Amino acid sequence: MIELQKLLELMIENKASDLHITTGALPRSGLGLANRLESLHPEMKVIYMSGYTDNAVVHHGVLKPGMNYIQKPFTLEGLTRKVREVLDK
């Protein structure tokens, strides 16, 4: 598993993807990394995932309304639909 700092360094040096999928429940890792990547590559899309409902994550201030979100557990088909939806925005 790549450490978060190493991943961030790699993505700063060379934008490696159009989409980043991360957990929204861990501000120091997933959300923090996504925020830094978005500031460096504003064109990069992000999908946040969590086992909590979207209402709960927004209500507790983890994610802002309108952020791309998918609730775990999800099916491969559900993830594929979400990825397509986000990339098409």
Average pLDDT of the segment spanning 17-40? 72
Task: Give pLDDT, residue 84.
Answer: 97
CATH class name, domain 16-88? alpha beta
- Is the pLDDT score of 35 beyond 80? no
pTM of the full predicted structure? 0.73
Q: What are phi and psi of 51, to 5 degrees?
A: -80, -10
Query: What is the residue extent of each domain of the chain?
Result: 16-88
Confidence of residue 15 (pLDDT cuts 50, 70, 90): low
> What's the rounded Cα separation, in Å, for the pair 34 and 69?
13
